[in-house]
Amino acid sequence: MMELELPKMHQSQQDMDLIDILWRQDIDLGAGREVFDFSYRQKEVQLQRQKKLEEEKRQQIVREQEKALLAQLQLDEETGEFVPRLTPTNNALTQANTAPVEITQNVAFTEEDGDAMSFDECMELLAETFPLVEPAEPAPPCLGPSIPPCTDNTHLMMPGEMPMLTQNPLMPGPMDQTWMDLQHCLNIQEILDMSGYVNTAQPANVQESNYSQYLPKLSDVTTGTTDMCPPKFMNTYNEAFSNVNQMNLKTPDLNESFGTDEFCDIFYPDLEPKVNNASLPCEGGNTDGQLDELSNASLLKPMDLHSLSPGNFSTEKNEDMAEFPDSDSGLSLDASPNMSSPGKSLHSDGCVGFSDSDMDELESGSGGTESDYADMLPLLFQSDSPQQSLLENSGINLAQEDNVKQPKTDQAEASGYSKPPFTKDKQKKRSEARLTRDEERARSLKVPFTVDLIINLPVDDFNSMMAKHQLNEAQLALVRDIRRRGKNKVAAQNCRKRKMENIMGLEYQLDSLKEEKERLLKEKSKNSSSLREMKKQLNSLYLEVFSMLKDEQGKPYSPNDYSLQQTSDGSVFLVPRIKKTLVKSN
DNA sequence: GTGATTTGTCATGAT
DNA sequence: TAATCATGACAAATC
């Protein structure tokens, strides 16, 4: 039991002491002891007595120390300051006795050998000393003549001995506002120092915090509020994207090719205000949602490999393929599978020279993957007929498909919607030539499936198809290689597309950051000028305060010899700058 | 002929 | 574990 009670008692003692401390701190606020606990009144009386005794002892010790130190100092008749006698023991004692003062004045006296205080010193001193001064008011009265000049250089002016400006009846009324402004000025300096405006040590925070403040201005150059991309936008995008393609993905080149405003205006006319949410339009979903649409619409048309058109592998069709080298893509992004299979080529005369855009138009109009699968899968699974049967059926379906799509192709071509770029056409032919090699291999091994089918069938359907046809190892290996290469080709194209979009997104971010940097630099310059002005005002105010402080003889105190300091309780003291000489002497 | 660009392919790791 | 995807690297074709 005792072991359990003792901790409780100890804890109670701690609580009591804590309450005492809190109560002492709140005396100024009018808090009564009973606010905390009635049971400790008696203890409080005892503590007060003990405290008085301690205070008396402390003051006595201080007085003794002052006497001792004073005995070790001598009055400089020229400066009127007390300077330590140059003996090692005295110096050591002086330092020891004046340590508390040194803490508050070291910076001023060690960093500056000159007599004048720096602005920062003034600001610090004023901020600490005059929390409630109003410069707009008439000049504040100084310490009254009754305030004796400090001659006690041992302890300088201890709070209990120093004239307290705040208690001076001549002290002016509230000057809260002005000193709030002055301290705000100090805060500005601190903020400027800490925020790293110049070195951008914390760019991320600054950006995030301030993004929304300046980005809206970018909207000034936006051309509209449409969420959809206008034709002009699309055209410009095409041009810009072509430039990007020619820039070899080098950022400096990108910078040169895209001006800041140009880029932003061109690509994100209606997205700029959203940037502060860290969701750039080229990143993540937005990228897919907008840039993808743009690029899909006119630039990097993604491969649509799902338009399957099983071809005919008869020998005579091989000859036809030789005549139409562009007729066997199906894998390429740029070549429409609908138009590319051997059978297709046979049944769609005049389609050889179609541009990629025309192909894309066809793809978009064809209903995409599902519809093509609907055409394809029945071919595969309606019967387990031999290969020839399958191929023949494929040819029929292709012919039917062509009848549907051909008019659209003609329409697109006739409208001149997209003229085939020569380079693209060449590349298309090249890719088709590559694909033809797989076709050739498949034909040489008598693989009963088209490359399109091999590549684009879902894995389950693909496995079913493979299971229904007994293929030897070479055929199986080739089919799987074709499928792997085809998938990888699409993946590579998507990967490159994403890479380009990322580059464009980063370019956009870079432009945004440049704009932000410019804005911050302007703001910094503005703040610096404001800060200089406030420092001037502060300095003049500081000197004005000092000019009104008079000693017993009516002489003003010199700011070089005295400084104003504020204690933690808000009291303001006039502190002589004797420490300077002490430091110098050391 | 050379450099740049595009595209396909392979290898490898991640999902 | 297999299939697929993502991506860097390389090579070939083309301009």
- For every residue of A467-510, DSSP letters joined together read HHS---HHHHHHHHHHHHHHHHHHHHHHHHHHHHHHHHHHHHHH
Confidence band, pLDDT 50/70/90 cuts, at residue A124: low
Predicted confidence (pLDDT) per residue in A174-225, tens digit: 334 444 444 443 443 443 343 333 333 333 333 333 323 223 233 333 333 3
Whole-number Å distance, CA A484 to C1' C8?
18
Higher pLDDT, A452 or A75: A452
Residue nearest to nucleotide B10 (CA to C1'): A485
The span from the CA of A551 to the CA of A529, in Å, is 37
Say which amino acid occupies A507: E
Residue A165 near residue A546 (C-beta atoms within 8 A): no
Q: Residue A439 has what pLDDT?
A: 81
The answer, yes or no, to whether residue A137 has pLDDT greater than 80, is no
Whole-number Å distance, CA A486 to C1' B10?
13
The span from the CA of A197 to the CA of A250, in Å, is 29
Higher pLDDT, A531 or A469: A531
Q: Residue A584 has what pLDDT?
A: 54
Q: Is residue A438's beta carbon less than 7 angstroms from any atom in nucleic acid strand B?
A: yes
Q: Residue A506 has what pLDDT?
A: 87
In percent, how much of chain A has pLDDT > 90? 6
The answer, yes or no, to whether residue A527 has pLDDT greater than 90, is yes
Q: Residue A19 has what pLDDT?
A: 52
Whole-number Å distance, CA A485 to C1' B9?
7
A491 Cβ contact list (under 8 Å, min separation 6):
none
Higher pLDDT, A460 or A266: A460
Q: Is residue A493's beta carbon less than 7 angstroms from any atom in nucleic acid strand B?
A: yes
Confidence band, pLDDT 50/70/90 cuts, at residue A580: low
Say which amino acid occupies A233: F
Q: Residue A150 has what pLDDT?
A: 34
Q: Residue A468 has what pLDDT?
A: 87
The helix-helix angle for A422-444 and A356-365 (nearest 10°) equals 70
Cα-trace Rg, chain A: 44
Whole-number Å distance, CA A42 to C1' B2?
101
Whole-number Å distance, CA A460 to C1' C10?
33
Q: Is residue A333's beta carbon less than 7 angstroms from any atom in nucleic acid strand B?
A: yes
Whole-number Å distance, CA A120 to C1' B1?
69
Name which of A177-181, A350-354, A548-552 the model is least confident about: A350-354
Whole-number Å distance, CA A238 to C1' C8?
27
The nucleotide minimizing the C1' distance to residue A499's CA is: C7
What separation in angstroms does the CA of A273 have from each of A45, A213, A510? 66, 10, 16
The answer, yes or no, to whether residue A291 has pLDDT greater than 90, is no
Q: Is residue A340's beta carbon less than 7 angstroms from any atom in nucleic acid strand B?
A: no
The answer, yes or no, to whether residue A518 has pLDDT greater than 90, is yes
Which residues of A in 448-487 have their CB below 7 Å from strand B's atoms?
481, 484-486
Q: Residue A71 has what pLDDT?
A: 58
Strand partners, A564: A574
Higher pLDDT, A486 or A31: A486
What separation in angstroms does the CA of A98 have from each of A87, A102, A577? 16, 6, 12
Q: Residue A57 has what pLDDT?
A: 82
User: Residue A73: what are its φ and ψ, rounded to 5°?
Assistant: -110, 155
Q: Which of A20-34, A190-204, A483-497 has the highest mean pLDDT?
A: A483-497
For strand B, the positions having any atom within 7 A of a protein Cβ are 4-11
Residue nearest to nucleotide C4 (CA to C1'): A487
A159 Cβ contact list (under 8 Å, min separation 6):
A567, A571, A573
Residue nearest to nucleotide B11 (CA to C1'): A488
In percent, how much of chain A has pLDDT > 70? 27
If you average pLDDT over residues A534-540, what whole number do you get?
Answer: 92
β-pairing, A562-566 with A82-84? Answer: unpaired
Tokens of A371: 């519809």
Confidence band, pLDDT 50/70/90 cuts, at residue A65: confident
Q: Residue A538 has what pLDDT?
A: 87
If you average pLDDT over residues A145-167, what whole number do you get?
Answer: 35
If you average pLDDT over residues A401-423, what whole number do you get?
Answer: 34
Higher pLDDT, A83 or A43: A43
Average pLDDT, rounded, for chain A = 52
Residue nearest to nucleotide C2 (CA to C1'): A459
Residue whose entry in the numeric block shows the structure tokens 């010899």 = A561
The span from the CA of A61 to the CA of A384, in Å, is 112
DSSP H or E run through A389 = helix A387-414
Q: Which of A98-102, A130-134, A236-240, A568-572 has the highest mean pLDDT?
A: A568-572
Residue whose entry in the numeric block shows the structure tokens 């400027």 = A192
For strand C, the positions having any atom within 7 A of a protein Cβ are 3-9, 13-15
Q: Residue A68 has what pLDDT?
A: 66
Q: Which of A64-73, A477-486, A552-561 has the highest mean pLDDT?
A: A477-486
Whole-model pTM? 0.34
Q: Which of A40-54, A139-153, A548-562 has the highest mean pLDDT?
A: A548-562
Q: Which of A62-76, A86-100, A104-118, A182-196 has the highest mean pLDDT?
A: A62-76
The span from the CA of A149 to the CA of A169, in Å, is 18
Q: Is residue A305's beta carbon less than 7 angstroms from any atom in nucleic acid strand B?
A: no
Q: Is residue A434's beta carbon less than 7 angstroms from any atom in nucleic acid strand B?
A: yes
What value, to the nearest 5°, has the Cα angle with vertex A280 and ends A276 and A281? 135
The nucleotide minimizing the C1' distance to residue A482's CA is: B9
The answer, yes or no, to whether residue A60 has pLDDT greater than 90, is no
The answer, yes or no, to whether residue A519 has pLDDT greater than 60, is yes
The span from the CA of A561 to the CA of A114, in Å, is 12
Whole-number Å distance, CA A586 to C1' C12?
81
Q: Residue A523 has what pLDDT?
A: 97
Q: Which residues touch strand C (CB under 7 A)?
A: A 422-423, 426-427, 429-430, 433, 458-459, 462-463, 483, 487-488, 490-492, 494-495, 498-499
Q: Residue A334 has what pLDDT?
A: 35
If you average pLDDT over residues A334-349, what whole number do you get?
Answer: 33
The answer, yes or no, to whether residue A295 has pLDDT greater than 50, is no
Q: Residue A66 has what pLDDT?
A: 61
